[in-house]
C-alpha cells in the first residue's frame, strides 16, 4: 500500500494486551503493515515498545490506541464490591482480591505525547475520532492516521476529521466492538454489508477487517472495494504471537457459532470463546463498567495466561477462527497474499 510505504496491502490487526514485537515485525518484514496495540501502556512503556519495534524491523509499522468515549469510570467506592464478585477467579490462580488502584488507565495525553515523540509510520485509533490538533500534529510529523469504523456514519466522521484511511470492521471480527456513535449492540453490521457502503461513502482508502483468514476472504474484500485487508485471528494463532498454547488451541478448535459477544471480561462488548469465566460472570449478572471490569478481570486473566489456564483467560477470536491453521506468520501472510489481485 503506497499510502503507508509498504509493499503489500496486508495489515496486522492490533491486539490490546496480546501484541508482540515478534509478530508485528514479522508482518512488516514480509512487506505488510505490522501493528502493535498500546492499550493501557504509559508513556515510558510506549517509548520502549516503539524502540523495540524499530530494533526488530526497519520497515514501517503501526501502533494503536483507544480513544476515550466519555463513559469511562474512575476508581470509586464500588471497586471493592465488583472486585469481591470476582474472588473465585483470583483464588483459582492464587491471587488476593486486588485493592483499588489510583487509576485504571494512563491519560490519553501521556500516550499521545510519547507516540508523537517517537513518530511511528502509522497511528491507528479505535473507539472514536481524533481531535483536529492531533490530526494536524501527527501529519506535521509525517505520521499517517487510521481510524476504525463499525458503521457508515462512523467512517464518514473519521474521514471528515482528516484520517488517511479507514478500517471497516465487521461484526465477525474478534476482540472489542469499537463502535462510538451508537451502542455496540446497535452497530453489528457484517463486513460484506459494511465494506461496500463505506467505500461508497468516503474518499480515503478503506481497509477491510472481520472474518478474513485466507486468500478467499482477501479476494472478497478487494472485490468489494477494499484497498487492503486487516487480519487478526489468523495471525494470533501463529508461533510469533504473544498468546499461550491454551489460547492458540482454542482458536483452532472453536467453531464460528461458538464465539460470543460479551461484556463479561471488560465491561465493553467483545467477541471471543465462551469459556468458564465468561459463562460464570454472565450468569452472576455482576459486571462492572469499563475500564473497571477490564482492570479487575485483567488481574486474574494475566495470571491465568502465565499458568496456561484457557478457561480463565480472554480467548479473543473472530468467527473465521476455524480457518486460522497457520504455524507461522510468514505462512499466514503468504496465504493471504494469494488473494490480492495481481499478486504473484
Residue 324 has pLDDT above 80, yes or no: yes
Average pLDDT, the chain: 97
Q: What is the pLDDT of residues 152-199, one digit of tens each?
A: 999 999 999 999 999 999 999 999 999 999 999 999 999 999 999 999
Q: Is the peptide bond before 291 cis (omega within 30 degrees of 0)?
A: yes
Q: What is the pLDDT of residues 272-302, one digit of tens each?
A: 999 999 999 999 999 999 999 999 999 999 9
Asked if residue 270 belongs to a domain, the reply is no
The whole-number pLDDT of residue 2 equals: 78
Beta bridge partners of 168: 149, 208
26 Cβ neighbours under 8 A, 6+ residues apart:
34, 240, 328, 329, 330, 333
Any idea what the CATH number is for the domain that residue 221 is in? 3.20.20.70
Residue 50: CB atoms within 10 A of its CB come to: 22
Mean pLDDT of 234-249: 96
CA–CA dist 88, 84 (Å, integer): 8
Give the range of the structural domain holding residue 197, as residue numbers without chain letter.
2-71+105-254+321-337
Asked if residue 282 belongs to a domain, the reply is no
Asked if residue 159 belongs to a domain, the reply is yes
Asked if residue 84 belongs to a domain, the reply is no
Query: Among all chains, which residue has been given the C-alpha cell 449478572?
Result: 285
The whole-number pLDDT of residue 1 equals: 67
Amino acid at each position: 500500500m503506497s499510502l503507508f510505504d509498504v509493499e503489500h496491502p496486508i495489515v496486522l490487526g492490533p491486539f490490546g494486551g496480546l501484541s508482540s514485537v515478534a509478530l508485528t515485525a514479522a508482518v512488516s518484514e514480509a512487506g505488510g503493515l505490522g501493528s502493535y496495540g498500546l492499550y493501557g501502556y504509559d508513556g515510558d512503556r510506549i517509548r520502549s515498545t516503539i524502540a523495540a519495534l524499530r530494533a526488530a524491523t526497519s520497515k514501517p509499522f503501526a501502533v494503536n490506541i483507544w480513544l476515550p468515549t466519555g463513559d469511562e469510570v474512575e476508581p470509586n467506592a464500588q471497586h471493592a464490591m465488583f472486585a469481591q464478585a470476582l474472588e473465585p477467579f483470583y483464588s483459582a490462580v492464587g491471587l488476593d482480591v486486588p485493592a483499588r488502584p489510583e487509576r485504571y488507565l494512563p491519560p490519553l495525553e501521556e500516550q499521545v505525547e510519547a507516540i508523537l515523540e517517537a513518530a511511528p509510520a502509522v497511528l491507528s485509533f479505535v473507539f472514536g475520532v481524533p481531535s483536529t490538533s492531533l490530526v494536524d500534529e501527527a501529519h506535521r510529523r509525517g505520521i499517517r492516521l487510521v481510524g476504525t469504523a463499525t458503521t457508515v456514519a462512523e467512517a464518514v466522521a473519521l474521514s471528515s476529521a482528516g484520517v488517511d484511511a479507514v478500517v471497516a470492521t465487521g461484526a465477525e471480527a474478534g476482540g472489542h466492538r469499537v463502535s462510538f456513535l451508537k451502542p455496540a449492540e446497535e452497530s453489528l453490521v457484517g463486513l460484506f454489508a459494511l465494506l461496500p457502503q463505506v467505500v461508497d461513502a468516503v474518499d480515503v482508502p478503506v481497509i477491510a477487517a472481520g472474518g478474513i483468514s485466507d486468500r478467499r476472504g482477501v479476494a472478497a474484500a478487494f472485490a468489494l472495494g477494499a484497498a487492503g485487508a486487516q487480519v487478526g485471528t489468523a495471525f494470533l494463532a501463529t508461533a510469533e504471537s504473544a498468546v499461550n498454547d491454551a489460547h492458540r488451541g482454542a482458536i483452532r478448535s472453536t467453531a464460528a457459532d461458538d464465539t460470543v459477544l460479551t461484556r463479561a471480561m471488560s465491561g465493553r462488548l467483545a467477541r471471543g470463546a465462551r469459556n468458564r469465566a465468561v459463562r460464570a460472570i454472565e450468569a452472576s449478572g455482576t459486571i462492572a463498567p469499563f475500564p473497571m471490569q477490564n482492570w479487575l478481570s485483567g488481574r486474574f486473566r494475566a495470571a491465568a495466561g502465565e499458568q496456561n489456564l484457557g478457561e480463565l483467560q480472554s480467548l479473543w477470536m473472530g468467527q473465521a477462527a476455524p480457518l486460522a491453521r497457520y504455524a507461522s506468520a510468514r505462512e499466514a501472510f503468504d496465504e493471504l497474499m494469494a488473494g490480492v489481485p495481481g499478486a504473484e
